[in-house]
């Protein structure tokens, strides 16, 4: 079966900024540190032979471009990190404190937009309470935008297949302590943790609504979707599962349904909207090993995810490609809970970098899609010319 290979990564750069610029409670990079950090990023991208990558924690698009172009494979690649520049939000003393996300692609990039506002119709009822009659009522919480705007891009795969890519960096687990609060107070700590969780949960809900609207209404032409992101939680967490969408019903339920066609009808919608995780698909084929992209006080975690739609799932007879392999480059991530050895994260990163490999099928090797078949494909408007836009709250 004829195919070509596509390698996709998500890369938290750990505060990439130009030298001499103050950022995020950190001293500026020296020219030597900047050279080492950009060389680290470019070197890792080259090791992974990456074709398409999403990035987090980028303060300057210029710095990201310089780092990416240090990978020979990505020389001249399209690099975008909208609004990552010296005009970004700052602390009272003038240090940059709102890094952006970015994208690098060897493939043609047709459109890039930065999305800050939650999608219309989502509302703000992320919390509920019961009234005196025991009825639940939504409580508006005032969260209506991403703290770190999401990047949405349209990329052209071989054979002119459009791929929609979302690059995301959700709110971290770091407790949100207000300026006038005592972080040593247990009540303050408890509230601060819930604040972070509520923000991340709201962002996950907003991203899922965006994805559902993007992926609904599939037609006969393939229109795959990927999410590349530091989602700041494990694959089985509530927030990450929310982003992935509802799980398709297992085949074991089919004989239990009164109408044999119910399983097919319900799963058609779920297949269309669900995202599969590269780490989850990898786990099916390997044993005796643990994947991790981050270590926190001895807790080995997968926070950085590559999610993809059914167009790359091996059980889809009308797929355009197959997920093949996931490699996590994490030899620079050290468990400081277990050893005194340290690595200079200023010139590297405290996150491992997942790289997923896909085999793309040629049109001749794909099965044509019929509208009555179980797994229908995504059909959206034709790609537009490259442009930038920003959605603000």
Let me know if 252 is exposed, middle or buried by CB neighbors in 10 A (0-12, 13-18, 19+). Answer: exposed
C-alpha 382, offset from chain centre: 24
pLDDT class of 297 with cuts at 50, 70, 90 = low
Residues 6+ apart with CB under 8 A from 310: 271, 272, 274, 276, 316, 319, 375
Of 38, 36, 40, residue with least CA distance to 48: 40
Tell me: the pLDDT tens digits for 28-70? 999 999 999 999 999 999 999 999 999 999 999 999 999 999 9
Task: Please tell me which residue, 30 or 282, carries the higher pLDDT value.
Answer: 30
Tell me: the pLDDT tens digits for 123-150? 878 888 888 888 998 888 889 999 999 9
Q: What pLDDT, on the 0 to 100 scale, is given for residue 367?
A: 65
Q: What pLDDT, on the 0 to 100 scale, is given for residue 391?
A: 44
Percent of the chain beyond pLDDT 90?
60
- The most distant pair of C-alpha atoms in the chain lies apart, rounded to whole Å, by 69
The answer to whether 240 and 204 have CB atoms below 8 angstroms apart is yes
């Amino acid at each position: 079966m004829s195919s070509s290979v596509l390698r996709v990564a998500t890369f938290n750069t750990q505060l990439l900024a130009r030298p001499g610029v103050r950022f995020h409670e950190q001293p500026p990079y020296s020219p030597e540190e900047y050279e080492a950090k950009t060389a680290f990023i470019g070197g890792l991208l080259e090791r992974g032979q990456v074709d398409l990558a999403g990035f987090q924690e980028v303060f300057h698009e210029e710095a990201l471009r310089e780092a990416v172009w240090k990978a020979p494979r990505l020389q001249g690649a399209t690099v975008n990190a909208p609004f990552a520049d010296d005009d970004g939000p700052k602390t009272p003393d003038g240090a940059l404190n709102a890094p952006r996300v970015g994208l690098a692609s060897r493939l043609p990039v047709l459109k890039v937009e930065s999305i800050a506002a939650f999608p219309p119709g989502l509302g703000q009822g992320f919390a509920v309470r019961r009234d005196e009659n025991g009825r639940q009522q939504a409580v508006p919480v005032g969260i209506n935008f991403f703290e770190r705007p999401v990047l949405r891009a349209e990329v052209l795969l071989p054979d002119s297949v459009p791929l929609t890519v979302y690059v995301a960096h959700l709110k971290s687990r770091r407790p949100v302590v207000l300026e006038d609060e005592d972080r040593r107070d247990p009540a303050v700590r408890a509230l601060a943790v819930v604040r972070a969780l509520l923000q991340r949960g709201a962002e996950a809900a907003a991203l899922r609504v965006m994805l559902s609207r993007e992926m609904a209404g599939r037609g006969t032409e393939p229109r795959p979707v990927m999410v590349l992101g530091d989602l700041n939680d494990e694959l089985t967490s509530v927030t990450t599962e929310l982003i992935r969408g509802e799980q398709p019903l297992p085949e074991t339920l089919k004989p239990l349904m009164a109408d044999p066609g119910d399983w097919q009808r319900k799963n058609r919608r779920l297949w269309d909207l669900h995202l599969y995780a590269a780490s989850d698909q990898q786990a099916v084929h390997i044993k005796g090993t643990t994947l991790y992209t981050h270590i926190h006080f001895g807790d080995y975690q997968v926070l950085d995810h590559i999610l993809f739609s059914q167009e790359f799932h091996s059980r889809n007879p009308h797929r355009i490609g197959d997920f093949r392999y996931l490699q996590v480059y994490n030899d620079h991530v050290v468990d400081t809970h277990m050893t005194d050895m340290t690595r200079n994260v200023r010139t590297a990163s405290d996150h491992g970098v997942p790289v997923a490999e896909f085999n793309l099928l040629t049109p001749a090797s794909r099965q044509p899609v019929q509208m009555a078949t179980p797994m229908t494909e995504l059909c959206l408007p034709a790609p537009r010319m490259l442009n930038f836009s920003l959605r603000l709250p």
